[in-house]
Amino acid sequence: MRDIGIPHPRLPLPKRGKGDDLAAFQAWLWEAIPLVEHLGLERMEWQGDVLCWHLKLVPNLNDKGTGFGGSLTAQTTLIGWCWVTLWLRARQRQQDVVVAEASQRFLAPVRGDYRLECRPQDPHATSVLGERLDERGKGRITLVQRLYSGDRLCLEACGDYAVLPEA
């Protein structure tokens, strides 16, 4: 059981030249953020610069038998946080990440298991973020999340994530 106000221990950085083991990261995430184990997250994978989650609908049902907007919104925020955290870890940086601003647009009901994709809004954003981190020790990036049930786009979201200076 987690104590309020006590940070969860950080996951050690991956060895240089090696990417994160996403299954180990997911297991750590379940411990670090207790809500995660209840979101129906089956697995995560990288597809180029896109972080993709595969999720079950059942834990996220609303009273109408479709996806609950609150769960879906939490998932879009969290996948963005994971994207930035994993991106930093691949660069041997262990800095705190927070969401600064987020918005969602619901386009269609989610009626089955789904996938959630997260990527930078601008293709050059990672270069800019890397430069800012090197120069100032902090930076921001805007990420776009899209939720698909089958081939149907059901939700679009956008989040601005801040990388805080090292403590």
pTM reported for the whole predicted model: 0.95
At residue 80, what is the residue type?
A: G
Task: Report which DSSP code applies to 8.
Answer: P
For the stretch 10-61, pLDDT in tens is 898 888 766 778 999 999 999 999 999 999 999 999 999 999 999 999 999 9
116: exposed, middle or buried (C-beta count within 10 Å: 0-12, 13-18, 19+)? buried
Structural domain boundaries in the chain: 55-163
Judge whether 79 and 118 are in contact, CB under 8 Å: yes
3-state secondary structure 91-102: CCCCCCEEEEEE
For the stretch 66-83, pLDDT in tens is 999 999 999 999 999 999
The residues, any chain, with a CB within 8 Å of residue 3's CB and separated by 6 or more, are none
Architecture of domain 55-163: Roll (3.10)
Whole-number Å distance between alpha carbons of 10 and 69: 30
